[in-house]
Amino acid sequence: MRNRLALIPPLFLPHGEGKKSKKCIQVPLLWGEGFRVRAGKRAKVLMVLGLFLLAGCGVRVVVEEPIPPTPTLPEIPNSAYPDWGITRIQAAPRLTFTDPDNAHAELFMQPDQPDIYLLQYRTAQLSVDYDAIWYAALRSSAQLRLNVYVRYAPDAAWELYDQTESNLITQTVPFNTEESTVVGLYREDITQFEVRAEVSAVMYSADGQISNQVSANEFRVYILDDVGDITVDSAALTPVFGDPDPAVLLLDWRAWDGGPCGLADSMQDDPAHETLVAACDAANNDDPWGAVSALVEAAQQTENQDLLANLASIVGLLTAALGDLASAAEAFENGVAVNLALNHPWELTVSLHNLASVWLTLEDERAYAVLQQVDDLHDQFYDEAGNNLMQANLSRVFSDQGQLEDVRGFFEENDLPQLGIIEAWLEELQND
């Protein structure tokens, strides 16, 4: 098979309010020579994902002297609303004062923050959860700051978005306080931007000494369309191909969406239509590898982004069911990239779930960052089925028998075949 490159048309990224930049990002999907499939045999299917996102070099912003607090805070929704948004802890500082000349601070930054997928009208609360304790040194104090900077282009200067500070002092010793200081990120327009969350602690010893620590996290925030409540569809959740394997964590089969035959029916005017028909025929004739081969070929023939997203999901589910988890992970990575570019937040969540499930099964540590993103999205819209699939997987990974028994009821109530997998997991946990 000739190596070809299917490029999603450029996604234009806003670089400021009310305008679009002429600079663009292309998300390449590589469906190339690695996809050689031998009919009738279990074959290794290799997929290469290329995803080039705008990313800038970190710029260290050093706090030399106190910055006055912002006079007004940006308006944010009421956090009592059940899907108000998410919280990301940036640091968990511990401040200790043991005697007049000994004040010590450890910022305990939470590094490697995954990108945030934030729905419209939601807030991302960036939190610093601190613990300060005075054993002595009554006149010692501290000032803890969280400065949040944003920029809309990798070569742009960081702009202060908002800041908060806590002045820590006590009138008695010993004394302990545990609190949080928070900055809320809130945008209503569909956009993306980089964030630098900078945490600093200034320690004032009773004898007049001053020490300062500064560190920062950087990540990207994507503002996506809002999502309504997702209803439970038992038929869509039922695995279409293969028998559920207790060794593989639960996948979300809602991404199947009719499979190859559904695509052949709905894409009759697409250049890839004949190849989709061939994929449908192969699937109906118990030739799953032939279906995979045809679906990969269809991805090389189409420029339809929605079709590319569906192809990535279906190839991922097929190859996972066939036991080729490495190729399934590559396919789901493609699905994440395309659905993010298309601004399809629910489909993005499903792709992230399936990617995390495969990576967890493969014991790939990248899964934990993806799980954070899935959890963030589940906090922003109601999807009972998706949440139960994730909770079941986490219960299995962390051997949480009680939680697994709790989610078992959902699969039993909806008469889902995944119930057999959960019962097998429970039996294994009970025998350990």
pLDDT tens column, 164-212:
999 999 989 999 999 999 999 999 999 999 999 999 999 999 888 999 9
* C-alpha distances out from residue 189 to 18, 64, 121, 186, 359, Å: 9, 34, 9, 10, 33
Q: Give a yes or no: residue 35 inside a domain.
A: no
**198, 224, 250 - which closes a domain:** 224
Q: Is residue 181, in this structure, part of any structural domain at all?
A: yes
Question: What DSSP letter does each residue of 108-171 carry, written as one string?
Answer: -B--SPPPEEEETT-EEEEEEEEEEEESS-TT-EEEEEEEEEEESSTTSPPEEEEEEEEEE--S
Rg (CA), the chain: 25
Distance CA 154, CA 156 (A): 6
Measured CA to CA, the distance from residue 14 to residue 156 in angstroms comes to: 13
Q: Give the pTM.
A: 0.81
- 310, 200: one domain: no
Q: Report the CATH number that the domain containing residue 135 is assigned in CATH.
A: 2.60.40
- Based on the fold, state whether residues 112 and 234 are members of the same structural domain: no
Tell whether omega for the bond before 28 is within 30 degrees of 0, i.e. cis. no
Residue 49, domain member (yes or no): no
Q: Are residues 198 and 235 in the same domain?
A: no
Under the banding of pLDDT at 50, 70 and 90, the label for residue 84 is confident
Is the Cβ–Cβ distance between 128 and 153 less than 8 Å?
Answer: no
Residue 29 scores a pLDDT above 90: no
Residue 295 scores a pLDDT above 50 = yes
Residue 61 has pLDDT above 50, yes or no: no
| 3-class state of residue 402 by DSSP | helix
**What percentage of the chain reaches a pLDDT higher than 90?**
75
Closest CA to 112 of 131, 88, 80, 94: 88
In angstroms, the CA 305 to CA 4 distance is 16
Question: Is residue 91's pLDDT more than 50?
Answer: yes
Residue at 55 is within a domain: no
Same domain, 211 and 142: yes
Last residue of a domain, one of 224, 240, 270: 224
Which range (124-138, 230-244, 323-337, 411-425) has the least confidence?
230-244
The CATH number of residue 390's host domain is 1.25.40.10
Q: Phi and psi for 204 in degrees, rounded to 5?
A: -115, 105
Residue 145: inside a domain, yes or no? yes
Overall average pLDDT of the 134-149 stretch: 94
Domain total for the chain?
Answer: 2
Q: What's the CA gap between 224 and 348, in Å, rounded?
A: 10
Looking at the structure, tell me whether residues 262 and 308 fall in a common domain.
yes
Domain range holding 136? 85-224
224, 240, 266 - which closes a domain: 224
DSSP letter, residue 107? -
Instruction: Give the pLDDT score at 101.
Output: 85
The answer to whether residues 374 and 270 belong to one domain is: yes
356 close to 371: Cβ distance less than 8 angstroms: yes
